[in-house]
Structure formats: structure tokens, C-alpha cells
Chains A and B, each alone.
Chain A
Amino acid sequence: MKSQILTLILFLLANVGTALKVVYTRHESRLLAVELSALESQQDEGLAEWSRLQIEQGWLADASQIEKKARGVLQMQQADNPQILVIRP
């Protein structure tokens, strides 16, 4: 009889314990979900930034831009025959 009561109390305690654990875990999972969505949006932002930078690079590295700068700002010229020498055919 005494041992039965003891088991009952044990189970009761265990029950309360797991119930608390459930509450705690649920709380934790919500926290993690919030963290996950924050990280996801951070990733999205990173990808968005990357795509914007790619487009920007595409525009800045446009051949017409480079040519304009090379010829205009840097005063570069295309090498012509007297300036190119073949040393060994």
C-alpha cells in the first residue's frame, strides 16, 4: 500500500515535470522560430544585396563605360602596326 502511494506520488511529480518541460519546450520553439525567421530575412537581405551589387557591377563594368573611360579619361589608344612587333614568328 505504502509503495503504491509512493509510485503514485512519483508519477504525479513526473507528470508535473513533463508538463513543465512541454511548456518550456514550446516556449523555446517559439523563440527559435522567431530567430529562424530573423535569420531567413537576413539571408534574403543578403541575397537581395548580392543581386543588386551584381546589377551594379554589370552596369559599371559595361564595355561602353570602360571604353569611354579608357579612351577619354586615360587617353589610351589602340596599338597600331609600328607599335606591335613580332619577335619570334
Chain B
Amino acid sequence: MLLIFLLSSIALIARAVNLQVMETDFLQGQGEARFLREVTIPSTRGVISDRNGEPLAVSTPVDSVWVHPGQLLEYPDNIKPLARLLGANAEDIERKLSQRANKEFVWLKRRLNPEIAAQISALDLAGVYLQKEYRRFYPAGEVTSHVIGFTNIDDIGQEGLELAYDNWLAGSPGSKRVIRNRKGEAVEEVALIKESQPGQDLRLTIDRRLQYLAYRELKSTVRQHGARSGSVVVLDVNTGEVLAMVNQPSYNPNDPGHDKDGMRNRAVTDVIEPGSVMKPIAITSVLENGLAVPTTPVETSPGYMVISGHTIRDHSNYGLLDVTGVLTKSSNVGVTRLALQLQPEQMWDTYSRLGFGEVTGTGFPGESAGVLRNYRRWRQLEQATISYGYGVSATPLQLAQAYAAIANGGKLRPPTFIQGANNPPISVIDSRIAKLVATMLETVTSNAGTGTRARVPNYRIAGKTGTSHKASASGYADSRYVSSFVGFGPASNPRLVSVVVINDPTGEEYYGGLVAAPLFSRVMTGAMRLLNIPPDNYPAMLASTADGAGGQ
């Protein structure tokens, strides 16, 4: 009897020691787990604004509803009113929760309408909680969608600058330990584990007004000509800042969907064979290497020439031109004659210095480098076609960058989307040569040129038209074209360079001078006005010559 008593006492003491000493940590942990909770402190994603501080992407809090399946399933009647508010089937919810009954956290619906969130909160159901989350809004919608991109439901950048600058914008959520009562309300903050770091704001070089203008005009041109796609880029010549970049087709970043085709920022990710807009680059190389001056005569009759069995044709027989005239008339034969005097290496060198075949370094996701093959592999025919823009490919942004360098006295500024970016000018061409080429390009918008429709009232405009056949699987397609215009103004002191690319216009008109040039003109006219750039071609505006000025 005494023995039994002794044994049971020992057993009891042993168990007590076991609980008190050996398993305290476990038990205490279990106890605390029932009322101590780690709560995340959400951080806001930084605002993306345009160059004037206009918001382009802003996060604002919305409520999401989550449940503790065990707690909610104790009162199955509660599921019905909840399902009604969420517009869901009560049985579906119950099944979903039963499957996850051992979990403590299940999202029911995210990013609720604020009214519904208020009604759910008013129901005050056990095991149903609201969690504040942030949702990103893009007030400019499809106008800025390609440049800015969008975030997914977890607020992580998926496309565009949202993706490229995700770390900068995101900030890091913090966490704190709180004591919770039975209802899950925090009654005391025990410790701050990590402070939440709000995301940093990002100021772009985009001008929202210009962006809208370019988008509106591009959209109407693409529609008018039944084109497949199109892009417009406007750069600041002196700083390399991207002032506007728009594409068609576009998408709504507030509800992106899954149409991957419309999501590409074609101005940066898609390459084209530029066609004639490359001619000024070849001419630059010819001038640089001292093979000609702008007035050197070039014979282009009879309007075609044969190289390695391939016929290079002009639109018509232009006869005897000079180097300037080759650009004015856009003569393939003329530019080929000139370019074939160059060593392949010399020509490749000029193209390469102007940024072809290399990414521009904007850091934009999916940026393409285009193709400029190594000169060692050029055959004579290839050198000829590269001089007028076939056998070489580039993005619209690369074209803008190269023309900006010509407009900027030979100093190339790598394009940038972010204000305050470090992109020091690199001298790539002699400033004298750059000025010569710029002067020659001004003749393209003269009465004799191919780009008369690119003119901007009261401003002198230099530029080049381009029309190229689209390459397809079976060689160059006869009736599919890329129409382009690249130009800058005011020519006396260039401030803006703009590239217009219209892909596959299906109407009667497809020449760059007829499709792309008018769009260039409308974008530049608006841009000059918006940015208050003084006109440099104003004889008609002088007070002394204008009608009705006599009375003043």
C-alpha cells in the first residue's frame, strides 16, 4: 500500500518536473501562440509621377477579406450572409474552407469594393477579418501604360518601369508583435520587430500632356490607315530625356487582362528595318571619311543599278544629283554609290557610334539591341542595302537617339526615362559634320523633298522619310510596309527629336511621306506649343508684315 502511494507520488512529481522544467518552452510557446501574434505593417508603394509631378501611378488602400476556417466553420450559418455580400456561392465557400480547415488563414476575396467591406465589417462574424491592402491606380490609363507597366495583385511590378524599378518603388513591409484578445483584436503592442519602409517615389521625364497628345494622334493615324501597330517617341535633344513614348495597340493598366500582344512597348522592344531613315547615317559616314562634301555630284541615272545580281531601284530616275539631293529625293542608287566607296569597317564604325546594334541603356525590361552585323561578314550587297536601311534593324528609340545626336552637334545622350539620371553626353561625330547633315536634312521638308507633309507651321524642321518593305518568312513582302519619319526641330536650334513608325498600313497610302510625316507634323506642332518653344521661321508672323497690324 505504502509502496503504491510512493510510486504514484514519484510518478506525479516526475510529470510535474517534466511539465515545469523540460517542456516549459513548448507549453509557454503554445500559450503565447494563442494570444501573441505577429502582424505585418503594410508599406505603400511609391508614386510614379510625370516630369511636372502629375501622378501617373498611385497606390490607395482597399480591404481584402480573409477567414480563419476553424472559427468560421463553428457557425456554418454565418457563411450564407457572407457569401451573399461577396456575390459567391455559400456551398463553394464552405467546401473551400473545409478543405483548408487546418489552416489559420485563407483569403476569401481580395480588393473589395469599399461599401462591401463596410458591410462585412458590420456583420461582425467570428473568424472573418478584413486586411488592408494597397491597390495601384493609373489615372492616365492606356496613354501611359506601355512606359509605366502595371503591378500584379501582390503589388509586384510585372511590366515596364513598375518592373524595372520594383525595388525602388516597393519599400519593405514591417512587422510587430501584438497581444490579441479572443476576438482577434490587438489590445497591446508588445514589440516592433521591423519598421515598415515606405516605397520611394519615382519622377519620370515623360510629359503627361505631350504623352496624351502623341497618343491621341497616333491612335487616329493607326485607325485611319488600318495599320497593325505604331509608335511615337519624342526625345529632348539636349538631355536625352524621353518626353513621350506611345504605342498602338495599347491596354488599360487598371485591368490588364492577358492580351500580351498589346502590352509590348514596341518603341523599345520591337525592331524594324528602318529603310530610308538610315540614309543620313550612311551619308554621315561618307562625309566623316572625307569622301564627299554636300555639293559633290552623284549620278543616279538610269534610276537603278545592279549589285551582285540584285537590282537596286529608285522611285524614278533622278538623274544627276548632289549629296544633299540624294537625301532630299531619297535616292537608293545615290546613297549606294556613295556608301560603296567606304571601307565596311568605316561605315560600321559610324553606325555603331550612333548606337545601332547596342541597347540604349535605359534599363527598360525587354529592350532590344537591334541587329548590326559585324563588318567582317558584310558582302558588297549587304553594305549597299545597309546604306539605305535594309539588312540592319533598330528600335524606334535607337533611331531617335541617333537623330538626337545629329541634332545635338554630334553629342549623343543615352535616352532616359528617369529624372536626374546620369547620362553624360558622349561626342560621337564631329560637330561640323553633324551640322552639315542637319542642314541637308532640312531640304527634305522643302518643296523638292519627300517630307513636305512633316512641316510644322512657323518652325524649320529637318528629318527623313522612310518606307520599307516588311520582311516575312518568304523574303520581302510586296504589299506590306513600315512607314516612318524621323526628324527634329526647330532646325536653327534643335530642341525636340521625334520618331514616328507606322507598321503595316493597309490603305492606299503607305509612303512614309504620306502616312508618318503628317503624324510627325501634328505631334511636333502640339509639342512646340505645349513646351513654349520659340518659332524660328516667322516671316509671316512679323508685326510689320502681318495683315491688320497697321492699326496698332
Mask of A37-58 contacts with B, CB within 8 angstroms, 1/0: 1000000100110011011011
Q: Does A86 contact B (CB under 8 A)?
A: yes
Q: Does B361 contact A (CB under 8 A)?
A: no
Residue in B140, B209, B529, B547 whose CB lies within 8 Å of A82: B547
Q: Is the CB of A58 within 8 A of B59?
A: no
Q: Is the CB of A63 within 8 A of B209?
A: yes
Query: Complex Cα distance A19/B94, Å?
Result: 51
Residue in B44, B213, B457, B542 whose CB lies within 8 Å of A47: B44
Closest to A51 in B: B60
- Known pairs A78-B529, A86-B535, A86-B538. 10 more at Cβ < 8 A? A33-B188, A36-B189, A47-B44, A51-B58, A54-B58, A81-B457, A81-B458, A81-B546, A82-B546, A85-B542
| Chain A residues touching B, majority SS | helix
Q: Is the CB of A61 within 8 A of B54?
A: yes
| Chain B residues touching A, majority SS | mixed
Q: Is the CB of A54 within 8 A of B188?
A: no
Q: Which residues of A contact B56 (CB under 8 A)?
A: 58
Sorted nearest first, the 5 A-B pairs with minimum C-beta distance are A58-B139, A63-B212, A51-B60, A86-B541, A85-B543
Instruction: Quote the shortest CB–CB distance from B386 to chain A (angstroms).
Output: 40
Query: Complex Cα distance A51/B58, Å?
Result: 6
Residue in A36, A51, A52, A87 whose CB lies within 8 Å of B543: A87
Chain B residues engaging chain A, CB cutoff 8 angstroms: 44, 47, 54-56, 58-61, 132, 137, 139-140, 186, 188-189, 208-209, 212-213, 216, 457-458, 529, 535, 538, 540-543, 546-549
Interface size, chain A (Cβ < 8 Å)? 26
Q: Which residues of A contact B547 (CB under 8 A)?
A: 82
Q: Does A21 contact B (CB under 8 A)?
A: no
Q: Is the CB of B188 within 8 A of A58?
A: no
Q: Is the CB of A63 within 8 A of B139?
A: no
Query: Complex Cα distance A78/B528, Å?
Result: 13
Closest to A88 in B: B543
Q: Is the CB of A55 within 8 A of B137?
A: yes
Q: Which residues of B contact A78 (CB under 8 A)?
A: 529
A selection of 26 A-B contacts at a CB cut-off of 8 Å is A33-B188, A36-B189, A44-B61, A47-B44, A51-B61, A52-B60, A54-B47, A54-B55, A55-B55, A55-B58, A57-B55, A57-B139, A58-B56, A58-B139, A59-B139, A61-B54, A62-B139, A62-B212, A81-B457, A81-B540, A84-B458, A84-B541, A85-B542, A86-B542, A87-B543, A89-B538
Q: Which residues of B contact A64 (CB under 8 A)?
A: 212, 216
Q: Is the CB of A62 within 8 A of B541?
A: no
Q: Which residues of B contact A57 (CB under 8 A)?
A: 55, 139
Q: Does A30 contact B (CB under 8 A)?
A: yes
Query: Complex Cα distance A87/B538, Å?
Result: 11
Residue in B139, B209, B216, B542 whose CB lies within 8 Å of A55: B139
Knowing A30-B188, A63-B212, the reply to whether A51 touches B139 (Cβ < 8 A) is no
Q: Is the CB of B543 within 8 A of A58?
A: no
Q: Is the CB of A82 within 8 A of B208?
A: no
Query: Complex Cα distance A86/B529, Å?
Result: 15
Query: Complex Cα distance A81/B458, Å?
Result: 8
Closest to A84 in B: B541
